[in-house]
């Protein structure tokens, strides 16, 4: 069973026995938004993985964060200024303080990451700023070191907060493939909004926790392995006592 925006809205009202005079569409939308955000934070999914390609700017040691990025999974730089089809080099993720110390050692001065003068092929990257915008933003992003000495091609691999369920986006990955977990998360929000009954809030909170563990077993378990490489998953079954 999968949910659409309309059927999930109806189901929330049916389970809670609260009509649209209290659970207005705006209130329901807030439940759905909070539930989706909770699931995305607690369980990064393959459906939220994206890749963005770009070109480094010569003598510029920052890269804008991709629009809507929750976190960066990796940065690959190619020793080419024309395409990104060859063998790339993966940058090592470090803290800003490491990049500052690295620059200082090479220059012999107390460097500033915003104006470092060590150039070459990039080796490290570090995160800075909030990078919470829905468009590529300079308010947060990545420092890289050394500063590029050419306009190299790069790829950023990241997880993104995808478009949520709404009247204009009637189905999502979660509503199709994790409908029960989405419903339980919404019902936990709903009974929290109603200030009880506490047993119902506890019931759906526990149902959500159980369902997301099962979903995680598929998302970060089965989807990250295959039978040829990792072997078939076997579950030990105890024999009955004689």
**pLDDT tens figures, 90-131:** 999 999 889 888 887 665 555 455 545 688 999 999 988 765
pLDDT of residue 106: 61
Q: What is the rounded CA–CA span in Å between residue 55 and residue 240?
A: 63
Burial state string for 33-48 with b = 16 or more CB within 10 A and e = fewer than 16? ebbbebbbeebbbebb
Joined together, the tokens standing for residue 215 give: 């979903």
Q: Helix (H, G, I), strand (E, B), or coil: what is residue 144?
A: strand
pLDDT at 232 over 60: yes
CB 48 within 8 A of CB 73: no
Does residue 88 surpass a pLDDT of 70?
A: yes
What are the strands of the beta sheet with 124-129, ordered from one edge?
A: 62-65, 137-145, 124-129, 92-93
Quick check: 218 and 173 in contact, CB under 8 A?
Answer: no
Residue pair 65/143 in contact by the 8 Å Cβ criterion: no
Q: How does residue 86 score in pLDDT terms, banded at 50, 70 and 90?
A: confident
């Amino acid at each position: 069973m999968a949910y659409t925006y309309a059927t999930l809205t109806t189901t929330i009202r049916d389970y809670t026995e609260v009509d649209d005079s209290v659970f207005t569409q705006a209130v329901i939308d807030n439940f759905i938004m909070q539930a989706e955000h909770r699931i995305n934070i607690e369980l990064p999914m393959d459906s939220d993985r994206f890749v963005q390609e770009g070109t480094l700017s010569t003598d510029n040691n920052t890269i804008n964060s991709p629009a809507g990025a929750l976190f960066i999974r990796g940065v690959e730089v190619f020793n080419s200024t024309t395409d990104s089809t060859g063998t790339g080099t993966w940058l090592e993720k470090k803290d800003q303080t490491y990049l500052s110390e690295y620059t200082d050692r090479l220059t012999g001065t107390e460097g500033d990451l915003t104006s470092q003068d060590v150039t070459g092929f990039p080796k490290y990257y570090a995160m800075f700023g909030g990078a919470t915008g829905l468009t590529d933003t300079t308010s947060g992003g990545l420092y890289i070191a050394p500063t590029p000495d050419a306009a190299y091609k790069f790829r950023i691999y990241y997880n993104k907060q995808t478009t949520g369920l709404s009247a204009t986006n009637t189905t999502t990955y979660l509503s199709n493939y994790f409908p029960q977990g989405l419903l339980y998360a919404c019902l936990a929000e709903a009974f929290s909004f109603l200030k009880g009954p506490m047993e119902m809030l506890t019931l759906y909170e526990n149902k959500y926790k159980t369902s997301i563990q099962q979903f995680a077993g598929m998302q970060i378990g089965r989807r990250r392995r295959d039978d040829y490489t990792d072997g078939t998953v076997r579950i030990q079954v105890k024999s009955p006592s004689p």
